[in-house]
Amino acid sequence: MNRYVAVEGIDGAGKSTLARDLVTALRQRGHTVTAVREPGGTPAGEAIREIVLGRTSELQNWTEALLFAAARAQLAATVVAPALERAVSRAVRQGTKLAVIFVDLDGFKPINDSYGHEAGDRLLIETAGRLRAGVRASDLVARLGGDEFVLLLEDVQSPEHVEIVSRKLLADIALPYTLAADVQARVSASLGISIFPDDAGNPQTLLKHADAAMYRAKESGKNRYCFYSLEVAPAASDPAARRRVRRPTAE
């Protein structure tokens, strides 16, 4: 059984690197793989021809994971990182703070699996619109791939200001989504927040810390926001610590 996996959505050197990584991963999992060029293509336009020896579902999972990781890394490198570097430079000059918010949807996969990719895409587009409407026009909203987004808020007055924004975003995302004329669905979100210069002094570490805080919010029960901190279990007597992992509350 032959299958062809086109390496799409990745440009330039990133595309050929992904092709090599995919070949390596599949061979490690027991597949016989031959890398071929697309008709008239270059190394940056490689495709993969594989003879499937293992389970098709396993092959699909590995392929999708690598494609997602590569697309996520490229977007972070080409869009988010430069914007964050410029924002950090402005914050240093002006003596202000900025916040990075990682957003990961809770419960998106079952909706995507049940109603199909078209409905899933509709939900993601609507989510992007809700996130965009929940922040200022000058703030950055970018989708990293899958059901992950990143927001960059400049000139924040305090962590409390970011907390107000985060509560609003969670409330907006929790509203029903209309996927078809007779189909509605709900999701929630886990938010991870890092603040410059409080949590890190460079863009790369800010992104890393926001990502880690998002995973902590998800592990803490989902549908909440989490401020980055070094403490795994903050003391309940510390007001700042109590703020770090919070569920939205009624206003």
Paired tokens of 80? 């988010």
d(CA 152, CA 225): 15
CA-nearest of 152, 137, 139, 67 to 103 is 152
- Output Rg (C-alpha) for the chain, integer angstroms: 20
25-62 in b/e form (b: 16+ CB < 10 A) is: bbeeeebebebeeeeeeeeebbbbebebeeeeeebeeb
* 21 is a catalytic site residue: no
User: Cα angle vertex 249, ends 243, 251, to 5°?
Assistant: 115
Asked whether 177 and 124 are in contact (CB, 8 A), the reply is no
Paired tokens of 16? 């050929």
Paired tokens of 215? 């995973």
Q: Among the options 147, 198, 199, 238, which is catalytic?
A: 147
At residue 131, what are phi and psi to the nearest 5 degrees?
-65, -45
3-state helix, strand, coil split of the chain in percent (to 5) is 50, 25, 25
Active-site annotation, residues: 147
